[in-house]
Structure 1
Amino acid sequence: MSGRLSDKVALITGAASGIGLETARRFAQEGATVILADRNAAGLTAALSELQASGDRHLAMAFDVTGESEWVAAIEQVRSRYGRLDILVNNAGFGRFRSIAETTLDEWRATLAVNLDSVFLGTKHALPLLAESGRGAIVNMSSMRGMVAGPTSGAYTAAKAGVRYFTKVTALECAAARNGVRANSVHPGHVETPLTAAAYAKPEVAKEFLSHTPLARFGQPREIADVVLFLASDEASYMTGSEVVVDGGVTAQ
């Protein structure tokens, strides 16, 4: 452990599995106190148990990131227990891939609520505590679909593009306020996680996706988590409003 996040407190949403869980592991390895947030209570319990093996400083909070009152309560709990928050990783998200004609209004709203509304709510309610730290960092999980569109991804693409530009607005407002908070976004490509494993295991799906990926393989959660770790650390102290693409070269074409 090199201690890149020593003495820092970090809240990570969608932390029960996939990229969120791997980010929590990396943060804990680098000395951070990690608050794991997810609506998957069973997954949170397992994730917390794993992290607590190296110390009991971590915390799990099961709540719905689309609910404003739940964010208010969560941040108040963080303030009460730790008295500070240095890093917010808005990672919670999911994709539902249908054509525009097949997408219902409820599906559209649900996709935007989890992928975009949660980023707004987390940022809005965590900002005061992040500003108190003097060197706060926000890392928002977008997607390569926030950079380039693809068919059957209307709601997801709209949400992730929204995350991309909301991050820039956050960065500019924080810079203008001189509150020391930086905000950057990460844009993964095709990454193997519990949510994508079943689809990627299908030969026809894998062949299609990898045919458009110059590195000709799927990404791994650790490869995304390492980028999040860098952006959250003081090593990225002159980066704000930036977007980091980790997609195996898809958007380079």
Structure 2
Amino acid sequence: MIQDIAPHEYRNEYRPLPPEKDSIALYYEDHTVLMKKTAEGIEYPTFADLEHLNEEIYEDYTYLFSIDNERYYLVEEINRERLSPFTMENTELFRAGEPQYRAFAGITGYQLYTWYKNHRYCGHCGTMMKKDTKERMLYCEECHNMEYPKICPATIIGVTDGNRILMSKYAGRTYKKYALLAGFVEIGETVEETVKREVMEEVGLKVKNIRYYKSQPWSFSDTLLMGFYCDLDGEDSITLDEEELALAEWFEREDIPVEPSRDSLTNEMIMKFKNGEV
């Protein structure tokens, strides 16, 4: 999966040390990131690459994380008219971009970029928020409101029936490949209850024997994904929620029309079942 970057080591402790000239500068605009494509793959600019575009770049920054001994920072307000050879590229490239640790850094930085952008002002009193110096937190000096990075828990659900697994396609989305059922955890319910509710809501089926598989941070949607397999309980006739799904079908292991990919928990769970490992 995209976060599996070993032997590289991701460290997310909040250590807001000043950047150096060779520190990595991540710059985003909406759904794009500043980078260039080289023979080795994704390359981000360093502070030395951008210092001529913003004289205050060493003062106006946000520490993000480190990978190995390389520190990553969020930067703002650069004069892109003078940029070369870096270009703005869509963040979707991180799904398959190489090297993998650079793709993971880029999408994780993007999640933090959107959080900082969406929390400039206090949601309670409207005062400009301040960055804490000890932890990754924004606080309001007026009303003392505190905000931490947004993480939404969600489930990925592999519904099985003997040698079959239920797969679906989303309705109204650009992603057109087969996926498993999925849904966000609601207030006041356990993740196991989420599994039962989402399966019933999306395909009208009951399930039992719910068992946890694995989790994945999914920065494309501020989500922590939790994967579960479960067994069909009773009738297998599907009642489709057409607002959520374009289709849902049962597939025998040998007929699953999905091939391995690097990025997602969904793909790994499908391939585990296809290969008879579940």
Q: What band does the TM-score fall into relative to the shorter chain?
A: under 0.3
Q: Which has the larger share of helix?
A: 1
Q: Under a length normalisation based on structure 2, what TM-score does the superposition of the two structures give?
A: 0.21
Q: Which has the larger share of strand?
A: 2
Q: Under a length normalisation based on structure 1, what TM-score does the superposition of the two structures give?
A: 0.22
